[in-house]
Structure 1
Amino acid sequence: MAKGKTKGKRDMAKKPELDDFRVPFFDAGKKLKPFDLSAVDPSAKPFSLGSKDADRERLAAIGAQLDDLQEKLHAQRRQRVLLVLQGMDTSGKDGTVRAVFHDVDPLGLRIVPFRAPSEREAAHDFLWRVHAQAPMAGEFAIFNRSHYEDVLVPRVLKQIDGDECERRYRHMRDFESLLADSGTTVVKCFLHISKEEQRERLQARIDDPTKHWKFDVSDLEARKQWDAYQDAYADAIGATSTEYAPWYIIPADSKTHRNVMIAELLLRTMQDMKLEFPPAKESLKGVKVE
């Protein structure tokens, strides 16, 4: 090949694709390399349009399209969508919900925050409380944290061992397979921030009295175990990214980029669902309202 052509190919920047950030699918019959979370740069902004203002304009445009698609989903009452948001403290789960769904009619949307299980919930299997919150027909459910907490905190605190983690990974894959088989489109996003970005966001909460309600001293204890949580996330994500419930790693040091990327992902997902309004009712043809 001529040198000029070679140079030309090298100069051509590859346009980022959403699937570049999708975690390889788990294959129980194949030994895969452990998933390397550190291979993704949390400060990257591959889907940014170059400025915060441009990103916000793009987000608003996507929001209008998501609103239309969600209305069709709700009217159709046949399919379902589940968005799972996971990430370290301050990664922006609440902010993502506010920004991405700002222009979406709340009718048919449901946000489910998962906290530490209650005494009653803990007396059941770990998926009992989660299954009860799965989306109904026509509903878009958002899990702010999720069943994945049950292979993160207990593992880091050494409340469960490796064998139990593997069992739970298997149960999670089976649970999500059941949801998919029942008409639920599952999308899972890990909001990937750097340790330095988390430090700045935690400090901002401490410095601003209006944000003290969002701060918990336990956040500092969890921060001391940053590496252990990163390893726990990497193992859980690698063991549960499937064709029917894929994981996407979202570089999230930039809040506007995080929002745009997740919005783009949801737009593509819902467009692929081929949503339409239900057919007109024959009984209403020719009806006049007096």
Structure 2
Amino acid sequence: MAFYKLSDIDTMAPETVLKEDCKEQTRKILKELDGLQNLLYAERKHSVLVILQGLDASGKDGAIKNVFGKLNPQGVSVNSFKVPTEEEAAHDFLWRVHQHVPSKGSMQVFNRSHYEDVLVTRVYGNCSDKKAKQRFAAINAFEELLQVHNNTVILKFYLHVSANEQQERLKERMTNPAKMWKYNQKDFEEAKQRDKYYKYYEDCFKHCNKPEWKIVPADQNWYKEYIISLTILEKLKALKMKFPTLT
């Protein structure tokens, strides 16, 4: 079992990694990934669920646009999980999630996910430690169900952004016309809860680790996109998929 202490993990790319080289590698990876996604769709034996988690302004939207936006839209779906609606809150916390899991041959991206129900709910005291442990068990059973019974490859990414970079990105939403639609004054208050979020994220990493989480340095978007695309590529190649032949 891997143990992650977020305050000890770098949010930047290693100094030996050069930006332009990395961006060129990402372009090549995405081209190969596009072909593998087509193969995934044709073979229809596996599905892929990508979970993106992170603090506000960690770059989830950018990753979706610049990684998954390069793939065939027929085979990729994206779903964002915000505050539960009245109907969703009347069901168990996984009810709204299960209906969006990927079918065989497809790839589904969760922008935030079922983990919000053991993160933000704990930060604001709406979920006790006892209930969180119960939910961890439910999440593990849910993810095992997908992996074992539907051949779903689950990739869980935590986008790790520093406090300084987060503040810069939140401030940019006040001045950049293209990003003003994202501005929410509450995000600055939410950012003050970083230590609590770290604590509860680390709890998720510890108790829901099959599959394990990938901690992605997210201060530099070009490196974040490289790590995400490379991880997905390696997982898809490991499936050793083949195009169906005539029967």
2:13 to 36, 40, 44: 44
Q: Does 1:205 align with 2:177?
A: no
Cα distance between partner residues in 2 of 1:38 and 1:44: 16
Aligned counterpart, 1:31:
none
Aligned counterpart, 1:16:
none
Compare 34-43 and 185-194 and name the one that shifted more: 34-43
Compare 256-265 and 98-107 and name the one that shifted more: 98-107
1:45 deviates by 3.3
1:267 to 230, 233, 236: 233
1:59 to 26, 29, 32: 26
After TM superposition, what 4+ stretches of structure 1 lie above 3 angstroms from structure 2? Answer: none
Q: Deviations over 1:199-236 (max 9, x none)?
A: 11001111223311111122112112111111111111
Give structure 2 stretches of 5+ with no counterpart: none
Aligned counterpart, 2:123:
156
1:254 to 185, 198, 220: 220
Q: 1:270 is paired with a residue of what secondary structure?
A: helix
Q: Is the 8 A contact 1:45 1:257 kept in 2?
A: no
- Radius of gyration: which is bigger? 1
**Root-mean-square deviation over aligned CA pairs:** 1.4
* Structure 1 residues 224 and 248, CA gap change in structure 2 (3 angstroms): same
Cα distance between partner residues in 1 of 2:131 and 2:143: 18
Compare 224-233 and 83-92 and name the one that shifted more: 224-233
Aligned counterpart, 1:184:
152
Give structure 1 stretches of 5+ with no counterpart: 1-23, 26-33, 283-290
Cα distance between partner residues in 1 of 2:76 and 2:127: 34
Cα distance between partner residues in 2 of 1:70 and 1:147: 25
1:114 deviates by 1.0
Cα distance between partner residues in 2 of 1:45 and 1:35: 18
1:49 deviates by 4.0
Q: Give TM-score scaled by structure 2 length.
A: 0.95
Aligned counterpart, 1:89:
56
For 2:152, the aligned partner's letter is: T
Q: Is the 8 A contact 2:205 2:212 kept in 1?
A: no
* Structure 1 residues 85 and 75, CA gap change in structure 2 (3 angstroms): same
